[in-house]
Amino acid sequence: MALDIAITGAGIISALGLGLEKTRQNLLAGNCAINSPKHLETAHSDLPCGEVDLSDVQLYEMCGKDSSLPLSRSSLLGILAARQAEEDAALEKGTRVALISGTTVGGMDITERHFLDYFKGNEFDSLIPLHLDGSATDPIADSLKSNVVFTDVISTACSAAANAIAFGAELLLEGKFDVVIAGGTECLTRYHLNGFNSLMILDNEPCRPFDASRKGLNLGEGAGFIVLERKSHALGRRARVRAWLSGWGNSCDAFHQTASSPDGEGAYLAMSKALRMASLRPEDIDYVNAHGTGTQNNDLSEGVALTRIFGKKMPYVSSTKSFTGHATSAAAALEAVISLICIENSFVPANLRFMEKDPGLDFCPVASNIENVKLNHVLSNSFGFGGNDSSLIFSSPEL
């Protein structure tokens, strides 16, 4: 197993709160953060979401930004998480870094607030560029103390942040950079919520992934970033290594625009590639942080793929979307940071509200927290629309 990519910093903001410690506390306490939307202006108050309980005004203040500047909520959430990661890694001011972010919503919230201005004949042209995904990433880069010399945006729906992390690792392996800050950010918007509602895959109660009675997902929002370094660079500056990124894999089975394949082929290929890169056997995986959205289609497809990989030797499995909701493009970033928290604190978080085994699945997820368990390798799955499926493997720093 080649442990060439060190993870030396992490930052997170989600419905569970701001920062690693708050997230750890709420996971261990089993505190679900899925509630009726409070800050999103929507007619669908009956659709619970994993919303960050901070207004845009509060986010501007926390970021130290002038509220007269048109910044998307995605940017504001991303700034907070990326700054945490940078500080957690103890990067010196001016450190040369690349920033890779996954997002799909981008600046949609700004578009929603101002698109009627176009029909009223008011100034709108200057706001059009803020709709683009790249516009949500540039303010994050500009808000860091590091010298961000390269940025890129990955927009592959629910696998976006996982692909951003994998791309960042590839940049390190190719010797392009010594340090990469990678992850993703996504905010809730009416377009976002209405679009998923039109697909009829939202649950009007807090979701229950893998449960036989599951009815759909809950959308969420947030941002997560991790600092990736070449091993030689991290050790050279005597950085604390939180974990190793030991493997990653991506596939695209293109089975359907939104649905996962019945045989889980894309998920199977992504997990297989990640295991092969890490030179690990399936039985080496201690915990799977599943994509586990709570929809009939995803959970059955992912479950079939997990059985194809692990057979009857299934590791612990849970979906932390039961805590945070599904933050779409940022989901993999939140779950990457959560995986690091689990490795460091030796626990497996519950798959909340799991009550009844699905007869179509060969396993049951973890129904309650499992503590004091050694996690050497955690597999984190993130599967996107169009069958763009990605898996990441995080390994203990003690290895």
Rg (CA), the chain: 20
- 49, 291, 342, 377: which is the annotated catalytic residue? 291
Given the residues 131, 326, 342, 377, select the one marked as catalytic: 326
> H helices within the chain, ranges in order?
20-29, 56-63, 73-88, 108-119, 133-142, 160-173, 190-198, 231-236, 265-278, 296-310, 321-324, 331-345
- Out of 158, 187, 207, 342, pick the active-site residue: 158
Contact 107, 74 (CB under 8 A): yes
Q: Which residues, at least 6 apart from 212, have a Cβ–Cβ distance to it below 8 Å?
A: 356, 357, 358, 359
Catalytic (active site) residue 256: no
**Annotated catalytic residue 158:** yes
Is the Cβ–Cβ distance between 230 and 176 less than 8 Å?
A: no
Closest CA to 220 of 3, 13, 26: 13
Q: Is 157 helix (H, G, I), strand (E, B) or coil?
A: helix
Q: Residue with structure tokens 């901070």?
A: 54
DSSP letters, 29-84, are HT----BS-SSS--S-TTS-BB--S--HHHHHHHHT--TTS---HHHHHHHHHHHH
Q: How far apart (Å, rounded) are the C-alpha atoms in residues 319 and 195?
A: 23
Could you give the CA distance from residue 130 to residue 123 in angstroms, rounded to a whole number? 14
How far apart are alpha carbons 103 and 369 in whole angstroms?
A: 30
Contact 365, 354 (CB under 8 A): yes
Tokens representing 63?
């970021």
Task: Return the structure tokens found at 281.
Answer: 């056997």
For residues 164 and 102, the answer to whether their CB atoms sit within 8 Å is yes
Tell me which residues are annotated as active site. 158, 291, 326
